Structure 1
């Protein structure tokens, strides 16, 4: 008879070593997976922020391209830059109808960029009233949220062949068409540079805009 080969199993020490190795591999794998999931979540959040900013900038670009001509406004301001705010008058075109005017206001309220637009009109006296309500924030209806989590907005204006800091603020008394009130300043510019700073970001997102179809 052939001798039966001796069968040898794992010792307790070998089992403990194997279990320890598997535990270490599992911990390392979990940490790696957790890091990947965290990075993916951060990247997704950043992409959502970038997408929101792009949509806000796209809307502002459309408004800037259709800003009203100064000659049409007859010495009325068409653009007003303030602290965390932009107010402008733009043309509104409806098929088979004459062009009309409306006031558009961008504001940062509680960390959120909102946009308001008034009704369209061809009556300059009515436009004066709409402008007054917009610059004094008397009209609080119809706000559309564009982007949240914004800590501030900086605006530069292109004037006289160079970029200038827009530091004017809107007075509580408002502004009369064609006049300046308090520390309010009506700006005749041909371009804007708008920078929005997002919560948690060190570098703001900025974009240049031409005023009118130049």
Structure 2
């Protein structure tokens, strides 16, 4: 007589279900941990990329600085750094005004950059220079068209390298006039130090210092 097949008892089924539930919970926790780790890695990568891009643009603006008769090539008023630089794209011909500032510190702070269109006359140059200062104080809808939010920032500081020392740009400036210019415009500092205070608790935090040394540049406005 053939033996009857034996099924699972109720206790065995309950034990199997309990084991499966435990495995499912452990698997879920593992997947959740992997997802969180991927999100943190992505956030860290994005923050580092934004920082690298901002610093690269900062260096490019200073490297492309132009010394003109009409305006100082570099100006720091304690809030905004304005730069006269060569056009960012080859073949455009003419200078541009670039400004950097920190906006909305109480709300978290954003490091901002503003860039004028390519300028072709002295009047356009002077107007863009004034527009850069107004943009940093109270930007209108037109000025916002030319701005870019670079990255979150808690604070920032600027220093000039003059007379073999790093000094506050608003302290007594180097009064040596540019040779042959006859304008009385203070000579450019030999270097610019940028200190960025990154927001605490972020994926990237702390104080970062970037030093720039002045290359030899030149140019003029028709």
Corresponding position of 1:188: 189
**What CA distance in whole angstroms lies between the structure 2 residues aligned with 1:29 and 1:144?**
46
Question: Alpha carbon RMSD of aligned pairs, Å?
Answer: 3.7
**What CA distance in whole angstroms lies between the structure 1 residues aligned with 2:55 and 2:147?**
14
Corresponding position of 2:220: none
**What CA distance in whole angstroms lies between the structure 2 residues aligned with 1:206 and 1:38?**
31
**TM-score of the pair, normalised by structure 1:** 0.68
Give yes or no for the alignment of 1:209 onto 2:207: no
Corresponding position of 1:45: 43
**What CA distance in whole angstroms lies between the structure 1 residues aligned with 2:159 and 2:17?**
64
**1:34: how far off?**
0.8
Corresponding position of 2:58: 60
Residues 67 and 211 in structure 1, CA contact (< 8 A), matched pair in contact too: no
Corresponding position of 1:120: 119
Cα gap change, 1:26 to 1:40, in 2 (>3 Å): same
Q: Structure 2 regions of 5+ residues with no counterpart?
A: 172-182, 218-222
Corresponding position of 1:173: none
Residues 87 and 103 in structure 1, CA contact (< 8 A), matched pair in contact too: yes
Give yes or no for the alignment of 1:107 onto 2:110: no
**1:13: how far off?**
1.9
Report SS of the residue matched to 1:32: helix
**What CA distance in whole angstroms lies between the structure 2 residues aligned with 1:165 and 1:11?**
83
Q: Structure 1 regions of 5+ residues with no counterpart?
A: 169-176, 181-185
Matches within 5 A, 1:99-178: 100-110=94-104, 111-118=109-116, 119-121=118-120, 123=122, 127-137=125-135, 140=140, 141=143, 142-164=145-167
Give yes or no for the alignment of 1:78 onto 2:73: yes
**1:61: how far off?**
1.5
**1:57: how far off?**
2.0
